[in-house]
Amino acid sequence: MVTLHHFPKNKDKFTRLIEFFQEVLDICDELNIAPVLNGSLAVFAYTGNQEMNVNDVDLSCSEMDFPRIMNALEARGIEYKLMEWHVLQVLKDDLKVELDSVEYWYKDLPTDCVTLQVDNHKVNMLTLSSLKELYRQGMKDRAVKTDVNEKIKYEALKLKFEALEKVKD
């Protein structure tokens, strides 16, 4: 088990983000959905790099669960957007939790998990090796793209991948 017990550079936003993330986890738990954490929060949990910012939370689950999650969000008055790229964005003010379709985004990736403890909440999180592979594939996909935004995303992925590479398995 990995325990989150430190803060990134953007501590104030991060504190609010974690509260919102836990609210989304509670909804998933009520629906018997066990999402898997990936992205910046997972990178932060593994690296402990307090110089990085964590601006959103990335989870994955079955896309078939999206309608149930959306109904629960509507019942609670929580804003969301269903994106055409197989992602459900859950929004509150300047906070965002994204649920990626595991069927679409992870079809050729390992999804081995460990448990991350965040306060009183536990969530499945990609293992270090699975997370590295996710970032490796993300970099590979974006390396050939010429759009300026894709180049910026590539550089962000590369920084996180390099930070993960320094962590001992």
Q: Are 83 and 44 in contact (CB under 8 A)?
A: no
| The one-letter amino acid at 58 | D
Strand order in the sheet with 113-118: 2-3, 113-118, 121-126, 36-38, 57-61, 95-101, 87-92, 79-83
Q: Which helix (H) or strand (E) holds 164?
A: helix 148-165
- 3-state class (DSSP) for residue 113: strand
Assigned CATH class of 2-126: alpha beta
Among 37, 43, 50, residue whose Cα is nearest residue 126:
37
Task: Give residue 165's pLDDT.
Answer: 94
Among 57, 58, 83, residue whose Cα is nearest residue 70:
83
- Residue-range domain boundaries for the chain: 2-126
Q: Are 157 and 135 in contact (CB under 8 A)?
A: yes
Residues ≥6 apart with Cβ < 8 Å to 143: 154
Task: Give residue 35's pLDDT.
Answer: 97
Residue 110 φ then ψ, to 5°: -70, 140
Tokens 């965040």, residue located: 118
pTM of the model: 0.93
- Taking only the tens place, the pLDDT of each residue in 138-161 is 898 888 888 888 888 899 999 999
In this prediction, the residues of the chain whose per-residue pLDDT falls under 70 are none
Structure-block tokens of residue 14: 């991060």
Task: Give residue 148's pLDDT.
Answer: 87
